[in-house]
Structure 1
Amino acid sequence: MDCGAGTCLFPLHRCKTIHLVRHAQGIHNVEGDKNYKAYLNPDYFDAHLTPLGWEQVDNLRKHVHSSGLINKIDLVIASPLMRTLQTAVGVFGGEGYTDDKTDVLPLMVANAGNSFHGAISSHNCPPIVAGELCREHLGVHPCDKRRSVSEYQFLFPAVDFSLIDSDEDVWWKDNVRETKEELAARGVEFLNWLWTRKEKEIAIVTHSGFLFHTLTTFGNDCHPLVKKEISKHAQFYSVLYIL
């Protein structure tokens, strides 16, 4: 493809492979896709995955394992919301948890977030870390407000929440919606922080709004077709991207 900005070369040791995963279908998406105002429903607070969402997780998990990708990923970073944590542990976690492995904490306890899903083991899987910077569009929508870290730590014992400063959610406001520009700036801050990590191959489990507004800030030095491809909305759940 003809690139208007010319060709750029970078040493491999200065590059990272980033896999961007949108969470699987949440309960808020079912009605929200029909009527945007449904996202204001308080019943969707910290929305969990639907049965279809868990099927999508299982399908992506099969791809990650059959392709050998699970053996390449050094780190998984997830937005600290129920649907992203469930997606992260479901896709990248170990096999079903059994009580006889008392020295291995589960990534997720059984029925976390009313999931009717069995516990998920942390055995032989990459570390999973929760990070606030890759959260969804903040404010007003109850589905985007997180629970306390204390509650999450009980539901996801082997997930690392040490990057989160506050137990309660101090980022989400019930009457102020984060602007698109603020969200994009937060996304760029997240990626700049990501470059400081030592890991070379990292999976990010996040949200469509975060992905769209963050990625639209990139590609301005590329061919217009590349720019369009980078910044399009993730129309499908649990889609894997490589940058």
Structure 2
Amino acid sequence: MEAKLSQGLYPLHRCKTIHLVRHAQGVHNVEGEKNFDAYLSEDFFDAHLTPFGWQQVDNLHKHVKTSGISNRIELVVVSPLLRTLQTAIGTFGGEYNGVDAPPLMIAGAGNSGRHTIGSLNCPPFIAVESCREYLIWYGYLPFGVHPCDRRSNITKYCELFPAIDFSLIETEKKCFVEA
């Protein structure tokens, strides 16, 4: 017997759709493709997006809006790394009028050169440590092997990204490897 699209273990109205989005191009990606050893450079600690990465974000934002996907998104779960926050906010962020809702990202956050991105008319955002691409646990602190995979202090992020919920991040400390 052939299953119909509407048949399944759970009714479709009780199911959720999950969209997974990888971060746009970061400064570490450009140098790392030229020379893999560049990933070991502290210059790329918690790497930010390149101008081309922001162009990718703008294209995805336009697609999400014109396709109607943005109307169906209930929650954005994001890794607490600068490039992933910038990608998620640029893609799924809303309007900013300075009054009705706090900004998701303040102007210029993380060398972006961008205007403020608001939280008005967009889903809530929550940062989750375990969403990071590479995560190695030493004791209770997560560390990335490469500087680009380590994050800044959550206090800093709270200033740059005021409307993001960082309450699930268990440690305030900046994740870095001591020499």
Aligned to 2:156: 151
Following TM superposition, by how much is the alpha carbon of 1:15 offset from its aligned partner in structure 2, in angstroms? Answer: 3.2
- The normalised TM-score by structure 2 is 0.86
1:136 and 1:57 map into 2 onto residues whose CA distance is 19
Gaps of 5+ in 1: 1-7, 176-243
RCO higher in structure (CA 8 A, sep ≥6) = 1
Q: Percent identity?
A: 62
Following TM superposition, by how much is the alpha carbon of 1:173 offset from its aligned partner in structure 2, in angstroms? Answer: 4.2
Aligned to 2:129: 132
Aligned to 1:162: 167
Secondary structure in structure 2 of the residue aligned to 1:165: coil
1:115 and 1:174 map into 2 onto residues whose CA distance is 28
Q: Which moved more, 1:137-146 or 1:43-52?
A: 137-146
1:117 aligns with 2:114: yes
Q: Which moved more, 1:70-79 or 1:8-17?
A: 8-17
Q: Given the superposition, is the C-alpha separation of residues 52 and 174 from structure 1 closer, same or farther in structure 2, using an over 3 Å criterion?
A: farther
Following TM superposition, by how much is the alpha carbon of 1:16 offset from its aligned partner in structure 2, in angstroms? Answer: 2.5
1:4-23 superposed matches below 5 A: 9-12=8-11, 15-23=15-23
Aligned to 1:108: 105
Following TM superposition, by how much is the alpha carbon of 1:34 offset from its aligned partner in structure 2, in angstroms? Answer: 1.9
Aligned to 1:218: none
1:40 aligns with 2:40: yes
Does the 8 A contact of 1:79 with 1:85 survive in 2?
Answer: yes
Does the 8 A contact of 1:141 with 1:174 survive in 2?
Answer: no
Amino acid of the structure 1 residue aligned with 2:128: G
Secondary structure in structure 1 of the residue aligned to 2:19: strand
1:21 and 1:59 map into 2 onto residues whose CA distance is 13
Aligned to 2:141: none
Please identify runs of 4+ aligned residues in structure 1 that moved more than 3 A.
Answer: 172-175
1:27 aligns with 2:27: yes
Deviations 1:166-197 (A, max 9, x none): 11145x6468xxxxxxxxxxxxxxxxxxxxxx
Amino acid of the structure 2 residue aligned with 1:34: K
Following TM superposition, by how much is the alpha carbon of 1:129 offset from its aligned partner in structure 2, in angstroms? Answer: 0.5
Amino acid of the structure 1 residue aligned with 2:39: Y
Deviations 1:17-64 (A, max 9, x none): 110000000000001112211100100010000000000000000010
Amino acid of the structure 2 residue aligned with 1:9: G
1:23 and 1:121 map into 2 onto residues whose CA distance is 19
| Matched positions, count | 164
Deviations 1:205-233 (A, max 9, x none): xxxxxxxxxxxxxxxxxxxxxxxxxxxxx
